[in-house]
Amino acid sequence: MSVDASTPVHRPESGNAEKLNVLAVVAFVLAILVAGQIVGFGSVTLAIFAVGAGHVALQQIKSRGGRGRTLALFALAISYAAGIWGLVTTVYWAILLAGATINP
């Protein structure tokens, strides 16, 4: 009995390629927490950790393989948006309060 060359042979992939990257999940959970409490100082602090975890997760996925790239990218998008929102609101309030103290 001969094996036909056109018949696909199932070769199990390495276990590493099938694993979901833990830091991608952590980054995504932190980003969801940031999105849930978009108003407040704590959300910007969590966004910093989510950005760090997201970038490290992307690097790990690139070097080791695995799943979770989409989660990490969503986490980065949400976290950067929250960081920009925090910066804009801080500048807004700083200008508003500076104007209130100059012109009483």
pLDDT mean values, one per 10 residues, the chain (104 residues): 56 61 94 77 80 96 94 95 87 87 63
CA distances from 50 to 5, 6, 46, 68 (A): 48, 47, 6, 14
What is the pLDDT, as a whole number, of residue 57?
A: 96
What is the pLDDT, as a whole number, of residue 14?
A: 55
| pTM across the whole model | 0.73
Q: What φ, ψ does residue 67 adopt, rounded to 5°?
A: -110, 165
Contact 64, 22 (CB under 8 A): no
Q: For 8-47, what is the HEC assignment?
A: CCCCCCCHHHHCECHHHHHHHHHHHHHHHCCCCHHHHHHH
**Domain positions in the chain:** 21-102
Task: Give SS3 for 73.
Answer: helix
